[in-house]
Structure 1
Amino acid sequence: MNDPVLQAIRSRRVVRAMTRDPVQQDQLKTVLDSARYAPHAGNRRLHRYVAVTRPRILRALRMVSPGMLQRPAAAVVVCVDWARVESYGFHPASPGPYIDVGTAAATMLLAAHGIGLAAGPVTSFSRTAAATILNLPEGLRPELIVCLGHPAAEQPPAVRRQNGPAWEDLIQWDRG
Structure 2
Amino acid sequence: MITFENPVLEAIFSRRSIRKYTNEPVSREDITTILEAGQWAPSGLNNQPWRFMVITRDDPRHAALAECTKYAHVVRASAACICVMLEKEAMYSEMKDHQGAGACIQNMLLAAHALGIGTVWLGQIVNDQATSLWALNLSPETYELQAVIALGHPDQKGSSTRKDLSELMLEEF
Q: Give the match for residue 75 of structure 1.
A: 81
Q: Give the match for residue 29 of structure 1.
A: 32
Structure 1 residues 141 and 124: CA distance shift in structure 2, 3 A: same
Give 2:135's match in structure 1, choosing from 111, 133, 136. Answer: 133
Q: Does the alignment pair 1:59 with 2:57? A: no
Structure with bigger gyration radius? 1
Gaps of 5+ in 1: none
- Give the % identical residues: 27
> Secondary structure at 1:95's aligned position in 2?
helix
Structure 1 residues 16 and 54: CA distance shift in structure 2, 3 A: closer
> Secondary structure at 1:66's aligned position in 2?
coil
For 1:9 and 1:77, how far apart are their aligned partners in 2? Answer: 22
TM-score, normalising length: structure 1: 0.84
- Alpha-carbon deviations, 1:115-153, whole Å to 9, x = none? 11011100111321121111114311211111110001x
Structure 1 residue 69 displacement after superposition: 4.9
Structure 1 residue 41 displacement after superposition: 1.2
For 2:145 and 2:118, how far apart are their aligned partners in 1? Answer: 21
What is the CA RMSD across the aligned residues, in angstroms?
Answer: 2.1
TM-score, normalising length: structure 2: 0.85
AA partner of residue 21 (structure 1):
E
Q: Does the alignment pair 1:3 with 2:6? A: yes
Structure 1 residue 167 displacement after superposition: 2.5
Q: How many residues align?
A: 164
Structure 1 residues 96 and 68: CA distance shift in structure 2, 3 A: farther
For 1:144 and 1:98, how far apart are their aligned partners in 2? Answer: 11
Gaps of 5+ in 2: none
Which portions of structure 1, spanning 4 or more consecutive aligned residues, are displaced by more than 3 angstroms?
Answer: 157-161, 172-175
